[in-house]
Amino acid sequence: MSHPTVQPGLTRYPIQLPLLYWRKAGPQTRAKAGWTHELSDEGASVELAERVAPETLLRIRIQTDRGPIEAEGQVVWFADSAPPSVENYHGLMFTQIAPDHLRTLQDILLPLSMVAHAGMRLAVDLHATCKQKGLRERPLQGRAGDVSRRGLLLRLPQTLGLGTEVEITLHTGNGPITLEGAIVWVDQPRKQENGQLIDHGVRFTSSTWSVSLALGFLLGGPS
């Protein structure tokens, strides 16, 4: 049963979550990555790695901070004219979703019905290197955590000032992902006294669609 705050087929909430998808028909293929754009318990508007024809059946896995949500769905439309900065924009109707996965989805949608959220950060623990843009210096060695499509938590051995423009490379099992961003908040520098890495909040300032897909694969879980 749908949660009463989410009207079937009508209300979709803006939230960007990474997803992996597989075509149900035809030869078995490797997973491809994408992102949700809007989400409801009946379906979603999504950005996919390619243009997918209407009526195509897909198996999808949406990654959330409460674990993955798996469902089956059908593409119902493809937008020739999409919102700015949106790639391969599709409408997807869920055709099958297990009750426990539906409950997880509804639990995520409930707060969105009260206060809009643009994204959800997902926990990772990755080796990251960081250098200030425009400076020739040895990169700082750090760790990355809590990544979303718009930004990440970056832990560094020294403090960088607010507004500092940085180039960050995430070192993943599938190869490096390089992103540009700006420091938007810094944790208390007292952590530096006991050797702990210092938390920085980074907002991405430049991210191509290929980088977004790489992040989608990283956050989407095993394919």
Q: Which domains does the chain have, with CATH numbers?
A: 13-112 (2.40.10.220), 126-220 (2.40.10.220)
pLDDT tens readout for residues 145-164 = 989 888 999 999 999 999 99
Q: Select from 34, 9, 41, 16 the least CA-distant residue to 117.
A: 16
d(CA 55, CA 47): 16
User: CA separation (Å) from 130 to 15, 206, 211?
Assistant: 28, 15, 17
- Between 86 and 41, name the one with better pLDDT: 41
Lowest mean pLDDT among 18-27, 111-120, 175-184: 111-120
153 and 183 Cβ atoms separated by less than 8 Å: no
Helical (H) or strand (E) element with 4: none
Residue of 141, 164, 158, 162 lying closest to 193 (CA atoms): 158
Cβ of 38: how many Cβ atoms within 10 Å?
A: 16
**Phi then psi for 125, rounded to 5 degrees?**
-140, 95
pLDDT in tens, 74-119: 999 998 766 666 789 999 999 999 999 999 999 988 877 665 555 6
**Contact predicate 47/8, CB 8 Å:** no
User: Which residues have CB under 8 Å from 57's CB, separation 6+?
Assistant: 23, 24, 25, 72, 73, 74, 95
Bridge partner residues of 60 (DSSP): 21, 71
Torsion region of 221: left, alpha or beta (phi above 0 gives left; psi -120 to 50 gives alpha)? left
In whole angstroms, give the CA distance from residue 146 to residue 128: 13
How high is the mean pLDDT of the chain?
86
